[in-house]
Amino acid sequence: MHIDDALRARKSIRAFRPDPIPLDLVNEILETASLAPSGTNVQPWKVHVVTGEARRRLVAEVLAHRETGPDDSGSEFPRLSKRKEPFLSRMRKLGKDMYSLLGIPKGDESANWRQWGRNYMFFDAPIGLIFSVDKDLGYMGFVDIGIYMQTLMLVAKSRGLDSCAQGAWNNYWTVTRRVLNIPEDEYIVCGMSLGYADETAPVNTLVSEREPLSSFAAFHGFE
């Protein structure tokens, strides 16, 4: 698949088929993605791959912990995120479109809670990925992980697999750390679902809008 085709075909999938993925293919995708660049070639990404019983245990324990209303329901590290325009409108537009496809009306808190909980089921994908990074690397380590994840998603798409990057896995990090034996000196940054899209699920028809070039690019020195 040409890189342009992979970019246009890739989208966040929120309902997967249970079809298993061969370990050799998973290894190939992760290894190929490691060709991604990183600042001064530090290659800081750590990937924890779960499937089968390990996946079931992680999902079960995080969901059970989530129902207790624990103190670690937020980010493990400061996100420094302020929801202002134009970012707020883009976020709300995506949420409105997605929840409309899911048939969840605005204000239905119990349905919202259940749907958000599907993040911690990897949206039924057979493979779950948890990404961590050494705490000493600072914000640039997060940039490097983002580059690796994007590369991974494109490599996966070029091989017929779908994905969904999930910031939600930065929550309830105490359970994830314990279950996967992630060292205390690493941040749990985010997760990702990996598998084959359920083409019958209405939510997978969602295509998020993209801003025009003129809204984010400034050209200097061109005649």
User: What's the CA angle centered on 66, arms 63 and 72, to 5 degrees?
Assistant: 130
Output the tens digit of pLDDT for each of the chain's 223 residues: 899 999 999 999 999 999 999 999 999 999 999 999 999 999 999 999 999 999 999 999 999 999 887 666 677 777 766 778 999 999 999 999 999 999 999 999 999 999 999 999 999 999 999 999 999 998 899 999 999 999 999 999 999 999 999 999 998 899 999 999 999 999 999 999 999 999 999 999 999 999 999 999 999 999 8
| Annotated domain spans of the chain | 3-73+85-208
For 181, counting Cβ atoms within 10 Å of its Cβ (0-12 exposed, 13-18 middle, 19+ buried), the class is exposed
Q: What is the CATH number of domain 3-73+85-208?
A: 3.40.109.10
Those residues with Cβ within 8 angstroms of residue 116's Cβ, 6 or more apart along the chain or in another chain: 168
> Which two structure tokens, joined as six digits, stand for 199?
């083409």
| Runs of H (alpha helix) within the chain | 3-9, 23-33, 52-66, 87-102, 109-117, 139-158, 173-180
Alpha carbon dihedral 122, 76, 180, 165, in 10-degree steps, equals 30
